[in-house]
Amino acid sequence: MKKLSARRRHPLAAVVVLLLALAATGGLYTAFAPASKAKADDSAQSLTIEEGKKLYEVGCASCHGTGGQGTTDGPSLVGVGAAAVDFQVGTGRMPAQQPGAQIPRKKVIYSQAEIDQLAAYIASLGAGPNVPTKNQYSPEGADIAKGGELFRTNCAQCHNFTGKGGALTHGKFAPDLEGVAPKHIYEAMQTGPQNMPSFPDTTLSSKNKKDIIAYLNAVNSDETQNPGGLELGGLGPVSEGLFAWIFGLGALIAVAVWVAARTAKAKKS
């Protein structure tokens, strides 16, 4: 012990202690960290990313650049997150058929597994919102009335009272929300695709998003009940006026023609 205490002031003592400390921390980490599990996860993740990268290079790179950095034809995808990919590809908007005022919804061409791979690859480029889980977007147990109020305050300006859609400038439009999966509605709010502003959780909490989804489910889906009869597109007075002219007045004029054609015959007396 005397030897050790005699050398504790040696110029290299600090270095030795540091090395020992590092070795100990590293050793402890390797001993306690869930090594095997982390390793397996890591490899699957990297495998998914690899697959996603391949898909990306075939389907997306021509517009978004080989590393997702964006080109003049498409925006950068660094930091858009998995949610954006899941929305854009999952609703068929991406890959786009042609550039235009707005990329419309169309047939989905990737399987959900492929979409997940693409999402994993894009998410690996930079941190962004994740794909929401089912209990985040499922409308069960949400406050429909609150959702309606939120929808009218935040969404109706573009999407109409019940999400039937509307026009924006220069050929752009806010689409009809009927038949859009709750997950995609959630992701759209989260990421703000195309011309839509984004409503991150700091603006519109996860619960509020759920309320909005529940409201749309109640007023603009297959289950929506229209107590008054045909909904006429739910577009308000324009379609109502058209209906009144064509089927209302049209029917009455047809009746008038019919009545006028049936004239009484003069009796000979």
Partner 1 sequence: MSTTASNTTRSRGKEPAGEKVADWVDGRLGIYSLAKANMRKIFPDHWSFMLGEVCLYSFLIIILTGVYLTLFFHPSMNEVVYHGSYVPLQGQLMSEAFNSTLHISFEVRGGLLIRQIHHWAALIFLAGMFVHMMRVFFTGAFRKPREINWMFGFLLFVLGMFTGFTGYSLPDDLLSGTGVRFMEGAILSVPIIGTYISYFLFGGEFPGHDFVARFYSIHILLLPGIMLGLVVGHLILVFYHKHTQFAGPGKTNNNVVGMPLLPVYMAKAGGFFFLVFGAITAVAAIAQINPIWAIGPYRPDQVSTGAQPDWYMGFSEGLIRTMPGWEINFAGHTLVLGVFIPLMIFPLVLVAIAVYPFLEAWVTGDRREHHILDRPRNVPTRTAFGAAWIAWYFVLLVGGGNDLWATHFHLSINAITWFVRIGFFVVPVLTFVVTKRICLGLQRRDKDKVLHGRESGIIKRLPHGEFIEVHEPLSQEQLYTLTAHHQYEPVEIGPTVDENGVERKVGGTQKLRAKLSSAYYGEDGQISKPTVEEYKEITSGHGHH
Contacts with partner 1 by CB under 8 A lie at 101, 144-149, 152-153, 156-162, 164-171, 173-174, 215, 218-219, 226-232, 234-245, 247-249, 251-253, 255-257, 259-261, 263-264
Closest CA to 129 of 97, 89, 81, 87: 81
Closest CA to 132 of 184, 64, 90, 180: 184
Burial of residue 251 (CB within 10 Å: 0-12, 13-18, 19+) is exposed
Q: CB-wise, 40 or 238, nearer to partner 1?
A: 238
Q: CB-wise, 63 or 144, nearer to partner 1?
A: 144
Dist. CA 198–CA 61, nearest whole Å: 24
Q: Nearest distance from residue 28's CB to partner 1, in Å? A: 56
Q: CB-wise, 154 or 206, nearer to partner 1?
A: 154
Q: Nearest distance from residue 173's CB to partner 1, in Å? A: 5
Dist. CA 217–CA 219, nearest whole Å: 6
Which one-letter amino acid corresponds to residue 25?
A: T
Q: C-alpha distances in angstroms, 208 versus 139, 186, 240? A: 11, 10, 32
Q: CB-wise, 27 or 250, nearer to partner 1?
A: 250
Burial of residue 61 (CB within 10 Å: 0-12, 13-18, 19+) is middle
At residue 137, the 3 state secondary structure works out as helix
Both structure tokens of 159 = 């999407």
Q: Nearest distance from residue 242's CB to partner 1, in Å? A: 8
Residues contacting residue 192 through CB under 8 Å, at least 6 positions apart: 198, 199
Which one-letter amino acid corresponds to residue 123?
A: A
Both structure tokens of 151 = 């929808």
Closest CA to 212 of 262, 163, 158: 163
Q: Nearest distance from residue 208's CB to partner 1, in Å? A: 15
Q: Nearest distance from residue 220's CB to partner 1, in Å? A: 9
Q: Nearest distance from residue 246's CB to partner 1, in Å? A: 10
Q: Nearest distance from residue 263's CB to partner 1, in Å? A: 5
Q: Nearest distance from residue 257's CB to partner 1, in Å? A: 4
Helix (H) or strand (E) holding 166: strand 166-167
